[in-house]
Amino acid sequence: MKRRILTYLQQIDELIQDPPEDTDWDRAIHNHLTQIQFFQHERLIHLIVTVLFALMTTSVVVGLVGTGSIWLTLLLIPLLILLFPYINHYYLLENGVQKMYAQYDRMLEYQSDKKWNRFFAVPPKEEK
């Protein structure tokens, strides 16, 4: 998944930096929105898993402090080993999706040949 999101972000950055003249922006934007949905879903799943692992780890730490059980120590070690990669992966997904939102705004600029407000993605008011 890491390679997929990083490769996709790089491909879209390259498209935005040097778009071919015959780029079908409607199709590219539609595809980009589909990819955003996929990665948002992946991000949600990993958020749920990460939060559950964090809650389990916290519960085990509280239980360990309260009882001092060796079994809880043995349970804590794999939880900590798994928690940090989950946090790292969720961080990648979150930042990747945020970057995809910015790429989407840039694609809209190319599609309409107008300068959009990059901070709010609001089209400019049409002059009468």
Domain map of the chain by residue range?
32-112
Asked whether the beta carbons of 16 and 107 are under 8 A apart, the reply is yes
How many other C-beta atoms lie within 10 A of the C-beta of residue 50?
A: 20
Give the pLDDT score at 123: 56
Place of tokens 């990460």: 50
Its pTM surpasses 0.85: no
What is the chain's percent helix, strand, coil content, to nearest 5? 80, 0, 20
Q: Which tens digit of pLDDT belongs to each residue from 3-62?
A: 999 999 999 999 999 888 888 888 999 999 999 999 999 999 999 999 999 999 999 999
